[in-house]
Amino acid sequence: MIKIAVLVSGGGTNLQALIDAWKEGSLEGGELSLVVSSMEGAAALDRAQKAGIKTVIVERKKYNNICDFDVSLAAALSEYNIDLVVLAGFLSVLGENVLKLFENRIINVHPSLIPSFCGKGFYGIRVHKAALDKGVKVTGATVHFVNNEIDGGKIILQKAVDVLPDDTPETLQKRVMREAEWVLIVKAVAMFCRKEI
């Protein structure tokens, strides 16, 4: 059984897509074993607890530097013998300890078609605002492996989503989540559990 940890910082909509897939049996060979939040009070923690998944808080703001945070995060993941780490709206950059410990075993979902609108500063609603400001007609989401370059790891899956003439950043964000992020993250995790990636 592949033990999966999902790292979150906010509402946990991508986490919910994974929980739903897991409960339906779509993550064959995988088990959602742990949810780690970088923020106390994140709504994602409630989603995890309702699903019976263990939760841990490794609060970024309680650490003076990224190295200490990274050591604590690596320790939490190791304690639960995690095989796959999934970043689902996790707003902290991973450090060398976690990256080395889980090399080629960390995946992230990003709300654009990488290499567009990615890298430092591009997260959440900012990505969709940038896409609309640029006037693109198509956007989407990408699931990729995580390395030491922000949004720079090998791409696993991508899915395009049309930008509509009357879109706002908020309407576009919702459509990208529904049509691409939730679909791709479940598919990529299932592929990992089947040893296809």
Q: What Cα–Cα distance (Å) separates residue 130 from each residue in 34, 111, 195?
A: 33, 11, 35
Residue 110 falls in the annotated catalytic set:
yes
Half-sphere exposure (Cβ direction) of 58: Cα atoms closer than 13 Å: 22
Strand 84-87 and strand 30-37: the pairing is unpaired
* Distance in angstroms (rounded) separating the CA atoms of residues 110 and 95: 18
Let me know: does 107 contact 145? Beta carbons within 8 Å: yes
Q: Which of 47, 110, 128, 144 is catalytic?
A: 110
Which amino acid would we find at residue 135? G
C-alpha–C-alpha distance, residues 102 and 82, integer Å: 9
State the virtual CA torsion across 54, 59, 63, 68 in degrees, nearest 10.
Answer: 30
- Tokens standing for 94? 């991973």
**Any idea which residues carry the catalytic annotation?**
110
